[in-house]
Structure 1
């Protein structure tokens, strides 16, 4: 099954542990979950579209769309509730936190209702019962028969999944390798970094039926029913909503809609995906990725520069108690931001502030990267200010200029010229660091490349394309920055 909370999400949840329980208790005290959804008229479904045939991306009428068995179930649930379905894509690790912080209303993403997860969210009845296979290279089919055949080899699985735990606990003399996405695991298998990949039977069938070089063998893992079943997750305390949706789930099971309708429909999309797998066919996806990458970078550079100037001025402030306190606060901010990973900061802004303000993923990404960039820019500017000869300041003051005017017209222009290469390097870095926001579902280049990989089952080609695109972006930006640097030196 899919991933549980990752380590980063455990950190985020720990930061919110004093807030989330309060909202959960309130929901339990007054359950209006069903009424709230019906009044809103929209049901937001969170999913991670990298898990065919449960959920994956397919090109429908020239547009990349999330399809699959789980999407059909989500449409059925929304129809029975009398509301519209809205699908929000994000990494699987982000789904549970997104549900708890109100970013989404439900999770349908091949999620298994384990006891650990039941402590945090409410599950419906099981809508699908599956099992596990191991995907191998077809050339090795005579060599491997089940999990016990991999002694001395390496088995891979998605990090945090029940398959991954089974590989670690139920195999002997076998190395385990965890990765965050199925596409990465299949790529590692085909490049012989792995000897096999443990995954669910439907997913194994999807990959092997669309790649003649792969084959599936029985896993023979000893797994509980919870670990091989799928259910819909809602916020804890959503009793009325869960009870209503259970009626839909029961109908789906009674009429056997998953096997009769939903899986066959997903299979058709899987076949459609492999009709044209050329990278040129997906130019719109890559163009969208470039567009969002540039939007994030330009906005983050602009706001980061403003934040950096304010922090740098605060850090160089001297005088009364207020200025001293301002200097301490700015120093603490810079040290804290530089001492924590940007990925955690992005998740904190999106999910943490999401407890109070429902910010879109793109806005959250820009805010997080701007705040991060501001801390680094502040140090560049502070270094630039310190590099200006003190005589410049003394000369300006002797002419009657105020502190503010001296800083604005004399010191900062010279400092900017000194630190321009560092600022240019920060801009180039942000172009590449913008890829981090893909974890919250922003459709920049990395996100779009993952979509193409899921669509085409080609692992290397999309990576090559985005490498070239990133190089074009960074090379063009560096040439422009070098042009302005030469002009400033000439002036």
Structure 2
């Protein structure tokens, strides 16, 4: 290192206050995706659900050395680095490989564990696939955005790489023969093989850059002081070989999780998911109807300005995916205002629903005969009173079925909030799949729960629709 480079580094180190900021607030916020045993996963201990695994022990050691409390923030794996960049978390951990591409966006600590790479295959294919060589021209699965995805894409000739957000989905794809093999970290592969008799593991023969092999902790760019302090703890972890003990401890929890993989045993997980799904849906329905009504009235307003705002909003929301809207509210607006994941999910779903409800209400208002408004005017009613007492009540009868469909769709579409770590039904479903190594049954249970919820809601909506039809 030249003298000028060293001086620049020291200046950056002196200017960076990341570590001091962490110590001042007394907490280190860590983003993770707890569906990746043995690195991080959820375990039911003494009736309480908590995140456990090797990475959790690593962070506990680091926080103890820093003298701060550890605070976890759960979200999908592909949102971890975004959480760092937008300030939702101080650091991210989750078996993250510090690839050169990722280093362009975030900084990384020293590697704290190198487990190696492997492939999961079906046990019935064990004679067919004995090494990576036999995977040429085959279908390879890998988690989207991971090192395993890039390796399979670039280093296995003729392969077709199928990416998915969750390893649990990839394992299901493997077991149903949608893919021939799954590229995965060796410790996770070993965990699956140990707990699923239908799977086997074969080694990889990748020749990798040593700086990209293994797991590291991610930081926001320029977090020099925090990174240096964390690396001191990592040096101790490596010198004392503490990760072996951390893995052994994770194995104990994995054994507890797989002692009883029946769905009734995980009823608390599903119950919590139902609770959050209903909360999000109920609040979003109320806010969505209120916003939709306002937007619909704005479209009928004489003011061209209000009319233009309503149209622009409706077209923009209807023209962009809900998932993107959820991520924008949580991460984008979160740069200015640090909104909790649940509140961000409710806001995003409500704003989305409002645009669709507005069009439903507009259609209902247009369906009311013009003669009704003319009759109201002849009776001396103002336009506001005509809309309130004559048009809207009649429009409600016409739009009730469409409005009911929107309510039902909202319950199902609210599942998208799981990507930002809201513990709704889909989020809990993926946790159960990761913990039990069962791919299909948790999906079936969640599907039936959604059916029951929507079936009950449909019957309630039909009851009120019949009452409206018979009302004089």
Taking structure 1 as the reference length, the TM-score comes to: 0.92
Using a 3 Å threshold, how does the CA distance of structure 1 residues 233 and 151 change in structure 2: closer, same or farther?
closer
* 1:366 and 2:346 matched: yes
4+ residue stretches of structure 1 with deviation over 3 A?
A: 27-30
What displacement does 1:224 show? Answer: 1.9
Matches within 5 A, 1:377-392: 377-392=357-372
What displacement does 1:151 show? Answer: 3.8
What displacement does 1:139 show? Answer: 1.7
* 1:316 and 2:300 matched: yes
* 1:421 and 2:405 matched: no
- Return the match for 2:267 from 278, 283, 296: 283
Matches within 5 A, 1:192-231: 192-231=177-216
- Return the match for 1:78 from 63, 72, 79: 63
Report the equivalent of 1:268: 252
Q: Is the 8 A contact 2:79 2:420 kept in 1?
A: yes
Taking structure 2 as the reference length, the TM-score comes to: 0.95
Report the equivalent of 1:23: none
Report the equivalent of 1:170: 155
Report the equivalent of 1:467: 447
Gaps (5+ residues) in structure 1?
1-26
Q: Secondary structure at the match of 2:388?
A: helix
* 1:296 and 2:309 matched: no
| 1:308-358 CA distance string (max 9 Å, x none) | 01100111112xxxx101101110110000000000000000011101111
What displacement does 1:29 show? Answer: 9.1
Q: Secondary structure at the match of 2:384?
A: helix
Q: Secondary structure at the match of 1:109?
A: strand
Partner Cα separation in structure 2 for residue 232 and residue 125 of structure 1:
8
Partner Cα separation in structure 2 for residue 426 and residue 382 of structure 1:
14
Partner Cα separation in structure 2 for residue 454 and residue 95 of structure 1:
18
Matches within 5 A, 1:56-67: 56-67=41-52
* 1:139 and 2:119 matched: no
Q: Secondary structure at the match of 1:382?
A: helix
Q: Is the 8 A contact 2:97 2:147 kept in 1?
A: no
Q: Is the 8 A contact 2:97 2:146 kept in 1?
A: no
Q: Secondary structure at the match of 2:71?
A: strand
What displacement does 1:30 show? Answer: 4.3
Gaps (5+ residues) in structure 2?
1-11
What displacement does 1:81 show? Answer: 1.0
Partner Cα separation in structure 1 for residue 156 and residue 65 of structure 2:
44
Q: Is the 8 A contact 1:449 1:466 kept in 2?
A: yes
What displacement does 1:150 show? Answer: 2.4
* 1:440 and 2:420 matched: yes
Give the RMSD, CA atoms, in angstroms: 1.3
Partner Cα separation in structure 1 for residue 254 and residue 92 of structure 2:
22
Partner Cα separation in structure 2 for residue 144 and residue 417 of structure 1:
63
What is the count of residue pairs matched by the alignment?
Answer: 460
What displacement does 1:477 show? Answer: 0.2
Q: Secondary structure at the match of 1:194?
A: coil
Q: Is the 8 A contact 2:35 2:435 kept in 1?
A: no
Partner Cα separation in structure 2 for residue 98 and residue 170 of structure 1:
30
Partner Cα separation in structure 1 for residue 106 and residue 85 of structure 2:
8
Partner Cα separation in structure 2 for residue 381 and residue 225 of structure 1:
60
What displacement does 1:193 show? Answer: 1.6
